[in-house]
A and B are shown apart, each in its own frame.
Chain A
Amino acid sequence: DAGVIQSPRHEVTEMGQEVTLRCKPISGHDYLFWYRQTMMRGLELLIYFNNNVPIDDSGMPEDRFSAKMPNASFSTLKIQPSEPRDSAVYFCASSSPPERGLAYEQYFGPGTRLTVT
């Protein structure tokens, strides 16, 4: 399996522009997570989906952020309009109930490094 795929890997944009980050989870995984990582706040969960349905979006910072999962193999995180404080690395992760045990290990994609100037 190719693992979790994210695009783009790097994005530089100007304040006020719309940014769309993309994620393809591991095939067969029914949970998808969007995280944001900064030096100050560490790794924060923004939103997660189960079977394409948003379950918990309490970590989404504000209305400028939105996420969708139109099908089991694709999700987007959109920021409109972007601001310099949105600069961070955004990770997508996926997981599936294990056959044994309760670990529910999450597999992370390589991340998108976003810089808003």
Chain B
Amino acid sequence: AQKVTQVQTEISVVEKEDVTLDCVYETRDTTYYLFWYKQPPSGELVFLIRRNSFDEQNEISGRYSWNFQKSTSSFNFTITASQVVDSAVYFCALNDYKLSFGAGTTVTVRA
């Protein structure tokens, strides 16, 4: 069974639109971490955010915001007022006993 499911495979928007990426995870552990990473075409993984299972406080950082809901095992990510530079593949990941990545969501922002 897949541990991390990213609902959208691809999202294409016009600049300045908001983009929400949905992530659902599955684990039996009570202590775990959730991550979002960005992978631009160059390939390196850019760390965006980390949340532990005891911290359900949602966060806004600039144009990025995250919604962690333990009750629904979801950890969603929103880009507000998207820009062309946001075009990348975004990965949601879960670390319970090892780090497992979702399949990724390709975000394309058109000018």
A, B bound:
no
Using CB atoms and an 8 Å cutoff, list the residues of chain A in contact with chain B: none
